[in-house]
Structure 1
Amino acid sequence: MTDNNIFKGKKAAYFTLGCKLNFAETSTFAEMLEKRGVVAAAKGEQADLCLINTCSVTEVADHKCRQQIHKMVRNNPGAFVVVTGCYAQLEPERIAAIEGVDLVLGSNEKADLMQYLSDAWTEKSGADCGEGRGTIISENLHRHHSVKTKEIKSFAPSCSRGNRTRYFLKVQDGCNYYCTYCTIPYARGNSRNPSVESLVAQAREVAERGGKEIVLTGVNIGDFGQTTGETFLELVKALDKVEGIERYRISSIEPNLLTDELIEYCAGSRAFMPHFHIPLQSGSDEVLRLMHRRYDTALFRRKIELVKLLMPDAFIGVDVMVGCRGETPECFEECYEFIKSLDVQQLHVFPYSERPGTAALKIHYVVEDKEKKERSHRLLELSDLKTEAFYKGFIGREMHVLMEKAPKGRAMHGFTDNYVRVEIPAGIAKDEYDNEILKVRLSGFNSDKTALMAELLP
Structure 2
Amino acid sequence: MNKKVAFYTLGCKLNFSETSTIARSFEKEDFERVDFSEKADIYVINTCSVTENADKRFKTIVKQAQKSNPDAFVAAVGCYAQLKPEELAAVDGVDLVLGATEKFKITDYLNDLSKNDRGEVHSCEIEDADFYVGSYAIGDRTRAFLKVQDGCDYKCTYCTIPLARGISRSDTLENVLHNAREIASKDIKEIVLTGVNIGDYGKGEFGNKKHEHTFLDLVKALDTIDGIHRLRISSIEPNLLKNETIDFVSQSDVFVPHFHIPLQSGSDEILKLMRRRYLSNLYVDRVKRIKETMPHACIGVDVIVGFPGETDEHFLETYHFLNELDISYLHVFTYSERDNTLAAEMNHVVPQKVRSKRSKMLRGLSVKKRRAFYESQLGTVRTVLFEGENKSGYIHGFTENYVKVKTPWNPELVNTLHQVELTQIDEDGLVRFEFVSNAVSA
CA distance in 2, matches of 1:82, 1:434: 34
- Report if the CA contact (8 A) 1:402-1:415 is conserved: yes
- Rate the CA distance shift 1:409–1:69 in 2: closer, same or farther, 3 A: closer
Decide whether the 8 Å contact of 2:160 with 2:341 is kept in 1.
yes
Structure 1 partner of 2:397: 414
Match in the other structure for 1:202: 179
How much has 1:339 moved relative to structure 2? Answer: 0.8
Tell me the residue number matched to 2:207: none
> What is the Cα deviation at residue 362 of structure 1?
3.2
Q: For the aligned residues, what is the CA RMSD?
A: 1.7
Map 1:387-406 → 2, pairs under 5 A = 387-406=370-389
- 2:334 and 2:142 map into 1 onto residues whose CA distance is 31
CA contact (8 A) 1:278 1:319 kept: yes
The answer for unaligned runs of 5 or more in structure 2 is 205-210, 438-442
Checking the alignment, whether the CA contact within 8 Å between 2:305 and 2:334 is kept in structure 1 is yes
Report how far residue 156 of structure 1 moved.
2.4
Alignment map for 1:254-403 (pairs within 5 Å): 254-403=237-386
Q: Distance in 2 between matches of 1:403 and 1:61?
A: 29
Question: Once the two structures are superposed, what CA deviation does each residue of 1:107-165 show, in whole Å capped at 9, x if it has no partner?
Answer: 1112222323xxx2x234xxxxxxxxxxx5x5456211111121111322211211351
Q: Which sections of structure 1, spanning at least 5 residues, go unmatched?
A: 1-7, 125-135
Query: Compared with structure 1, are the counterparts of its residues 371 and 208 closer, same or farther at alpha carbon in structure 2 (3 Å cutoff)?
Result: same
Q: Compute the displacement of 1:181 (Å).
A: 0.5
Partner Cα separation in structure 2 for residue 404 and residue 353 of structure 1 = 34
Partner of 2:200: 223
> Which residue number corresponds to residue 250 of structure 1?
233
- In structure 2, the residue matched to 1:34 is 27
Q: Distance in 1 between matches of 2:252 and 2:35?
A: 42
Q: Secondary structure at the match of 1:399?
A: strand
Counting aligned pairs with the same residue, the percent is 49
How many Å separate the matches in 2 of 1:100 and 1:54?
16
The answer to whether the 8 Å contact 1:277/1:318 transfers is yes
Deviates more, 1:10-19 or 1:249-258: 10-19
Kept in 2: contact 1:110–1:156 (CA 8 A): no
**How many equivalent pairs are there?**
431
My pick for the range that moved more, 46-55 or 280-289, is: 46-55
Deviation sequence 1:223-258 (CA, Å, 0-9, x none): 111116211111110000001111111110000000
Candidates 97, 104, 117, aligned match of 1:104: 97
Q: TM-score, normalised by structure 2?
A: 0.94
SS state at 1:98 partner: coil
Native 8 Å contact 2:303 2:331 kept in 1: yes
Q: Tell whether the 8 Å contact from 2:135 to 2:146 is kept in structure 1 after alignment.
A: yes
Verify: 1:92 aligned to 2:85, yes or no: yes
Alignment map for 1:27-176 (pairs within 5 Å): 27-42=20-35, 44-116=37-109, 120=110, 122-124=111-113, 136=114, 139=116, 142-163=119-140, 165-176=142-153
Amino acid at match of 1:274: P
- Checking the alignment, whether the CA contact within 8 Å between 1:109 and 1:146 is kept in structure 2 is yes
Output the amino acid matched with 1:350. F
Which residue in 1 is equivalent to 2:163?
Answer: 186
Secondary structure of 1:209's match? coil
Paired amino acid for 2:21: T
| Cα deviation, residue 42, structure 1 | 4.8
Structure 1, 104-113 or 368-377: larger mean CA deviation: 104-113
SS across alignment from 1:457: strand
Q: Is the 8 A contact 2:263 2:301 kept in 1?
A: yes
Q: Which residue of 2 aligns with 1:24?
A: 17
Determine helix, strand or coil for the equivalent of 2:169: coil
Q: TM-score, normalised by structure 1?
A: 0.90
Q: Once structures 1 and 2 are overlaid, which stretch shifts more, 431-440 or 273-282? A: 431-440
